[in-house]
A and B are shown apart, each in its own frame.
Chain A
């Protein structure tokens, strides 16, 4: 069951645009994650695929058939909600069976499917309980069991893990991933958590500001982000974005953050002013005296196997650097910051420019 979106648009009233020109293709059996900050319209997009919210313009296709006017039931899909949407007055078993009964399957088929689904999510022994007698993770698994019990091959999930604590979230992440692979579901998963997107997705759609920012595989999105927003959204700590200028004498030379750092590229820079994205692990930090230094330390965070150093460059730009192992700097200690080899370049509109870079020359 493949899903396609063709130039989908959504307006509320005639003025407020929620989504503009969304196009995407989701292949059969794919784990497709829609990610973006809150309010970017990702849940609305999911509801438009489900048929719960009408679309203003464009087409939604399921198996190459336009389904714009089909009611949700006819689209043959299941949906897992953030707050699980369980019926508190029914047992776990009845909650899972509810949709099957509504679709008028025969009794033995329902019995078989529900038992199987509960077994898949390890809830067989809880089948007689009411939702209020379960923990958050167990309730979430009941919601998953509903999707498993259904014969629909498309499953939509709307931030299913955001009500769970961090540890449980990691565990459930794996369970959802395993279920999806085992059942061969076409899964569209909405989240605001970039880690969930990176770890589970076959393809990620990044939404922001009513627009699709980028669609790609996790590694593609991390290594070749389409723009500054995408670069900043993925990776913790956040990528450093620093202003840079082409040197007036040599168009292969870049000065980053006023005069603090200079690098040489092996091709000419097409624009005079641009912005350089440096992942925190591409920054090197060394102790030095105040004459040689180009930054001062603000504070450090020790995470066990690595340390995050927050510093301010002489130009006033704040940076984050990840150093492996434990290093201790005092606040206001002068340091010298140098740049590694893996850089991203953006023009002033925030779009990425493809440039290659060979070596770094420090002025």
Chain B
């Protein structure tokens, strides 16, 4: 008995040691970044990370001296529109694939899936040409139009819709609900967990875009945050590392909010006794 207990104790210690190491490795850079965002640039330059000259000056400076608010606004607008569009279009196409019978439904769905096989990088040149031909370069549209819908979102919602019991559709037919009513009053609320997940996913995806906005935007008026950060750092007058850290921290905040809300909903929804 004692041997077993001892073994499990050493096991525990090993487990925890491993977990702590991993935590430090994963969280370390975040914590260092957060800490340096509170330090004056002089201390950072000297490598004096243990300095105690903590203040929020960097944050105040970030908001007053840089266009970070403009960047945040741009990103928020782009991400919100992208998310809304994805939720609407993906749920509608998923509905069509699950509840409508039409010729070529299967082939069409495979075509949809096939686009998932292509990495975004491979689509950049045709997308760029299209956006350019439409005269949308350096506008919000340039960053929204290519992402209005996604094969992944359609696929994910289709899987979720397929889980709905067929009786719900039959019950709706008996009540005389049309397709749009069924979609709006039953399918969407029934699958709200999947919708929230997709929403969070596409919001974060849009928020963290870097390559595409870099190619399609040339002015601060439309530049989203990730590219804005890069812009701040590359401007010659700007080598205030404390402030860069502060802006980086600000940029992460919306991401965290989305994750927290998403997780809260996800937990509350998993155990929703669906039918039985």
Contacts and interface: CB of A to CB of B under 8 A. Distances in A.
Contact of A79 (B170, B177, B189, B273): B170
Contacts of B274: 88
A102 interface: yes
Contacts, number: 70
Given A72-B176, A131-B273, A132-B271, A85 B171 contact: yes
B176 A88 contact: no
B174 interface: yes
Nearest to B192: A89
Contacts of B165: 83, 85
Interface residues of B, number: 21
A131 B190 CA distance: 13
Given A73-B176, A83-B165, A88 B171 contact: no
A274 B39 CA distance: 102
Nearest to B276: A83
A73 B273 contact: no
B276 A163 contact: yes
B186 interface: yes
Contacts of A72: 173-174, 176
Contacts of B168: 85, 87
A50 B170 CA distance: 9
Interface string A83-98: 1111111100000001
Contacts of B170: 47, 50, 52, 79, 81, 85
A102 B274 CA distance: 21
Chain B, interface SS category: helix
Interface in A129-175: 131-132, 136, 139, 163
A71 interface: yes
Interface in B152-177: 165, 167-168, 170-171, 173-177
Interface residues of A, number: 30
Given A83-B165, A89-B192, A102-B181, A52 B275 contact: no
Contact of B173 (A71, A88, A103): A71
A24 B266 CA distance: 50
Contacts of A82: 167
A88 B175 contact: no
Question: Considering residues A50, A83, A103, A139, which has the most beta carbons from chain B within 10 angstroms of its beta carbon?
Answer: A83
Interface string A53-91: 000000000000000000111100111011111111110
Contact of B272 (A73, A83, A88): A88
A84 B275 contact: yes
Contacts of B186: 87
A37 interface: no
A343 B182 CA distance: 55
B174 A73 contact: yes
A29 interface: no
A51 B171 CA distance: 11
Interface of B: 165, 167-168, 170-171, 173-177, 181, 186, 189-190, 192, 271-276
Given A81-B170, A85-B165, A88-B275, 18 more contacts: A47-B170, A72-B174, A74-B176, A77-B174, A83-B165, A83-B275, A85-B170, A87-B168, A87-B189, A88-B190, A88-B272, A88-B274, A102-B175, A102-B176, A103-B176, A131-B273, A132-B271, A132-B273
28 contacts: A50-B174, A52-B173, A71-B173, A72-B173, A73-B174, A73-B175, A74-B176, A78-B174, A79-B174, A81-B167, A81-B171, A83-B276, A84-B167, A84-B276, A85-B165, A85-B168, A85-B171, A85-B275, A86-B275, A87-B186, A88-B273, A88-B274, A90-B189, A99-B175, A102-B181, A132-B273, A139-B276, A163-B276
